[in-house]
Amino acid sequence: ALPSTSISSRSLAPLRPRLSAKRSSVAAKVAVIDVTDKTFQTDVIQAPSVPVLVDFWAPWCGPCQMIAPMLDEIQAEYKDKVKCVKLNTDESPQVATDYGIRSIPTVMIFKDGKKMDTIIGAVPKASLIKAMEKYM
């Protein structure tokens, strides 16, 4: 018979940080990114030909806080088929002004550098997906 080796939880402890670090780096690859007035052109207008959902929000906006986790979920579920970004209208007012944002949250869908759709207010996740899938 072969000798058995006992693995204690203590012997696995050095592996745990590496595993959790790996998991968080994978999650970061599909995370919703922040865009600004300076990066909007590159991150949204010049994005590859996938739909780009732009969440116009502000930290003080309660309904904006409700929509943010939905965009995280959409980004995680659709991965490279969609790009979700958020733009803080307090810190980057120029893009919001350029696109006539009067109310937040507003989600705009861009594809190939063109604005395709606008969703105003905190809507259900299914509404965001339905709007986005029209442009996939």
Q: What is the DSSP letter of 5?
A: -
Closest CA to 129 of 80, 69, 82: 82
Q: Which residues contact 118 (CB under 8 A, 6 or more apart)?
A: 106, 107, 108, 109
Beta strands in the chain (DSSP E): 33-35, 52-57, 83-88, 106-111, 114-120
Intra-chain end-to-end CA distance of the chain, in Å:
59
- Tokens 């350029």, residue? 98
Please state, in angstroms and rounded to a whole number, the distance separating the CA atoms of residues 80 and 47: 12
| Catalytic residue set | 61, 64
